[in-house]
A and B are shown apart, each in its own frame.
Chain A
Amino acid sequence: MTDPLRPSDHADSAPSAGAAASDDITQPQLGVVGWLRWGWRQLTSMRTALVLLLLLAIAAVPGSLVPQRSADPNGVTQYFTDNPDLAPVLDKLSLFDVYTSPWFSAIYLLLFISLIGCVLPRTKHHWKALRSQPPRTPARLSRLDDHRTREIAVEGDADAAGAAAVETAAAQLRKSGYRVARYDGRGTFSVSAERGYLRETGNLLFHGALVGVLIAVGVGGGFTYTGQRVLVEGQAFANSLLDYSSFNPGRFVNGDTLTPYSMTLDRFDVTYVPPGQPGSGQAGNFVAHVTTQAPGSDPQDGEVRVNHPLDVQGDRVYLLGNGYAPTVTIRDAQGNEVFHDSVAFLPQDANMTSLGVIKVADGLPQQLGLLGFFYPTMDVLDTGALTSTYGALEYPTLTLRVYEGDLGIDDGTPRSVYTLDPSGMTQIAGGDSGNPAIQLMPGQTEDLPNGLGTITFENEAPAGAVGYEGSVKRFASLSIHRDLAGPWVLGFALLALFGLLAALFVPRRRMWVKASPQNGTVLIEYAGLARGEDPTLAAAVDQLADKHGATLPAPPSQSHPDTGKVD
């Protein structure tokens, strides 16, 4: 028996086998072991696998309807704001974390247990099958659907001719990849041939590789880290925990032993489709030009582009975002510099209207918070509101509202550098404060209200620059990853794909060639039997009959048509 092992409810296995199996297990005196065995057989049945697969498909759907914390944390926050009553209920059901939820995990874990329970015995069985002989030639080949006959005339020893013909067939079959065995007896000679073990191998490889994918994702994820860092042009960063603005390590990552290297953002380039062309204003060709240096080696130039992360010492650097980082200097009433920095402003729309916050913690009588809007190409709407109409620096303008008071950072509460909490502060410029908001173009200086000092929007353009090009620095938001799972997952996925190709397209079939010497002639029969889907079987039998027939002597004068089917 070299058929692949299948669960008892497989469509190919005889119904009686399944019925018999369930008969002897419903007997009550089976006890614990019996019940366990029953449960295991249920779990590893085709029906269970099928139901679990369908459940998995259904269970995955809600994650596309409700925002997920993993993919869209802001969406989840928004959802809570929009649906204050519903959201907590959904949260209880893990609907914001579908793919790590207990119910989703339960389904795929059960599925994989079932898979392993199904595949292990089959592997063992297949291992044995790989070294067994093709089965005996059936006594009556003519019963098979695909059956051809040919009769040849022989002078002399019909037995020898029959044996020789079968030997030739065996050689031909072996050459086309069949495993063959000779079965002679009762006056006939035959060869039994089988091919397509690769089909079952492929099936097992496919299912096994799926387990590989799961393990690689689970274990590999533990060795993976991602970190984010915003770099303004000219700024450098060292690959250590301290220098990241956020860092998500896997379980087994030691944050203290990151591969040491440094990276400087030299320049950030972007092009805009000029006005008047299709897609005008669309930004593209983002490139962060960086210099990286590992200890003890020379600095190296590199580029980080969308779709083209940069490999540095086994880490991959991705371009997440970019924007403008206006350089602002603030001086107190005496003209002493109390603040000087390039502050990353976050883009709010396609034309790079950007929002940023400047915090001056020391050096002035009270702490100062400035909420700024930056417009690379400023224009005034009919309503009087400002807007940006183009992403490049055509008419760069910075507007600032100023708040005085307590920034709320002294007690150690972590505050985002991108937000300002004005409670506990007094607005002294912009809004209802009585003073107009401060409005600056690069190179301009204005007084702060109440004689506090001055503020300058520095022009960073190199000497001799045309217009405002280069007047405001850019920043790149980089994401740095080390991913040990990826290559393994890919490897297993490709194995699964190859396994699938073999499992679905390698035909598994048996062929028989039988010679029955009769007085003066030899009747040669060819027959084939498909195991599983095999639309090309009939053609294969024809081909065998033709190829083998070509090596045979002519048929006796009055004979059957060459490859006629015998009814």
Chain B
Amino acid sequence: MPGTDPLLLDEISLLLVWTAVAIYVLAFIAYAIDLARRSDLALKAKDEVVARELVTAGGGGVITTGGGSSASTPSAKPRYLWARLGTVLTALGFVFHLVATVLRGVAAERVPWSNMYEFALTGLLLIIAVYLAVLTKFDLRFLGALMTGLAVLLLGGATLAFHVEVVPLADPLKSVWLVVHVFVASLATALFALAFGLSVVQLIQTRRERKLAEAPVDAAPSRSFLRTVPNADALESLAYRFAIVGFIFWTFTLIAGSIWANDAWGRFWGFDTKEVWTFVIWVLYAGYIHARATRGWRGTRSAWLSIIGFTAVLFNFTIVNVFFKGLHAYSGLTT
């Protein structure tokens, strides 16, 4: 956009980012209220269909498209108004977030992913995009609080701590592989995040199911949003489905990164910090996939691996960016 002041554009972009963060906060609150209210809704629904509830204690086995979860019969499907509000707000925040990211790119006249702030901006944009896209197929709104919480913390944190003026791309970052590599890595991260959320809920659900199995039949029903989410088995296989797609993307990230490293540094693999962690994460998820196929490891143990894997991803997300800051110094090409 010739003639437009990049500083001004960036300022507008920043304003939009904060707006997006604020909307995400509201979305988070809506989702949190939803979780708190779900148990009541489910209990009411239960009163209407007591008989069936006994069979499906622990939630339904299937996750349906749109609408509420299948914990109760379709006729009594509770309508999660707060969750719906949360999703609408998330989508609204996403729009602001998207425009902010595009403006940042326009201001910089390049893809907006070359420093910590921009990585957070683009990465979280993709994470929210994947979450919203997945919602059209699976009702995962019980993960909404996690996803928006993640967005608020990371985007807000990165903007506070790392916002920098637009500067030209450093030479080592001028590569199509930057575009591919970062894009695919963010997609993988988004899928791992969903798998992580599902695994966490799976663990809690497992505990609840165990308690339920031990509890006397006439015990008072527990008040928990868990009764509105799928059972642990269903959560596990869904987590697995997200994780394997994430794993494929991560494998691709690894390959694309090596090709880029080979162009930039003359070696495709050198075990530097960022490479080590990318590798560790890959191996952890390979372990997770194996665990799912190993007797005695399916269930709780493999869920823990998914959680550990995503913790490593988050760790790497920061390490990667710190590392790229190192690359900026490198761009002065000092030997």
Contacts and interface: CB of A to CB of B under 8 A. Distances in A.
Interface of A: 6, 9-13, 15, 18, 46-47, 49-50, 53-54, 56-57, 60-61, 63-64, 68, 70-72, 98-99, 217, 226, 273, 278-279, 282-286, 305-309, 316, 318-323, 346-350, 352, 391, 477, 479, 481, 483, 486, 489-490, 493-494, 496-497, 500-501, 504, 533, 535
B276 interface: yes
A285 B293 contact: no
B297 interface: yes
Contacts, number: 172
A318 B263 CA distance: 8
Interface string B144-183: 0000000000000000000001111111101100000000
Contact of A496 (B251, B264, B293): B251
B122 to A, nearest CB: 19
A479 B335 CA distance: 11
Given A11-B295, A60-B276, A64-B277, A53 B167 contact: no
B266 interface: yes
B266 A481 contact: yes
Given A18-B295, A497-B251, A479 B170 contact: no
B291 A56 contact: no
B26 to A, nearest CB: 33
Contacts of B55: none
Contacts of A479: 266
A533 B332 CA distance: 50
B241 interface: yes
A307 B255 CA distance: 16
A347 B266 contact: no
Interface residues of B, number: 62
Contacts of A391: 332
A235 to B, nearest CB: 17
B259 A490 contact: yes
A477 B333 CA distance: 9
Interface string B259-271: 1101111111111
Contacts of A70: 270-271
B202 to A, nearest CB: 16
28 contacts: A6-B293, A9-B295, A10-B295, A50-B290, A50-B294, A57-B287, A60-B280, A60-B283, A71-B272, A217-B269, A278-B6, A279-B168, A282-B168, A283-B331, A284-B331, A285-B171, A306-B171, A306-B264, A307-B172, A307-B264, A308-B263, A321-B335, A323-B335, A347-B333, A493-B255, A500-B247, A533-B237, A533-B241
A46 B294 CA distance: 6
Given A60-B276, A61-B276, A533-B241, 15 more contacts: A10-B293, A11-B292, A50-B291, A53-B286, A56-B283, A63-B271, A64-B280, A279-B167, A307-B263, A319-B333, A347-B335, A481-B266, A489-B268, A490-B255, A493-B258
B65 interface: no
B252 interface: yes
Given A47-B294, A50-B290, A533-B240, A320 B333 contact: yes
A500 B331 contact: no
A63 to B, nearest CB: 5
A318 B266 contact: yes
A277 to B, nearest CB: 9
B334 interface: yes
Interface in B223-278: 237, 240-241, 244, 247-248, 251-252, 254-255, 258-260, 262-273, 276-277
B interface, by DSSP: helix, strand, loop or mixed?
helix
A481 B332 CA distance: 22
B284 interface: yes
B1 to A, nearest CB: 15
A353 to B, nearest CB: 10
Contacts of B294: 9-11, 46-47, 50
B282 to A, nearest CB: 9
A61 B284 CA distance: 12
B317 to A, nearest CB: 14
B288 to A, nearest CB: 9
A71 B270 contact: yes
B279 interface: yes
Contacts of B280: 57, 60-61, 64
9 shortest interchain CB distances as A-B pairs? A279-B167, A321-B335, A306-B171, A64-B276, A46-B294, A53-B287, A57-B283, A318-B266, A278-B165
A98 B280 CA distance: 14
Contact of B297 (A12, A50, A320, A500): A50
B296 interface: yes
B15 interface: no
B50 interface: no
Nearest to B293: A11
A316 B283 contact: no
Nearest to A224: B267
Given A57-B284, A64-B276, A99-B271, A500 B335 contact: no
Contacts of A307: 171-172, 174-175, 260, 263-264
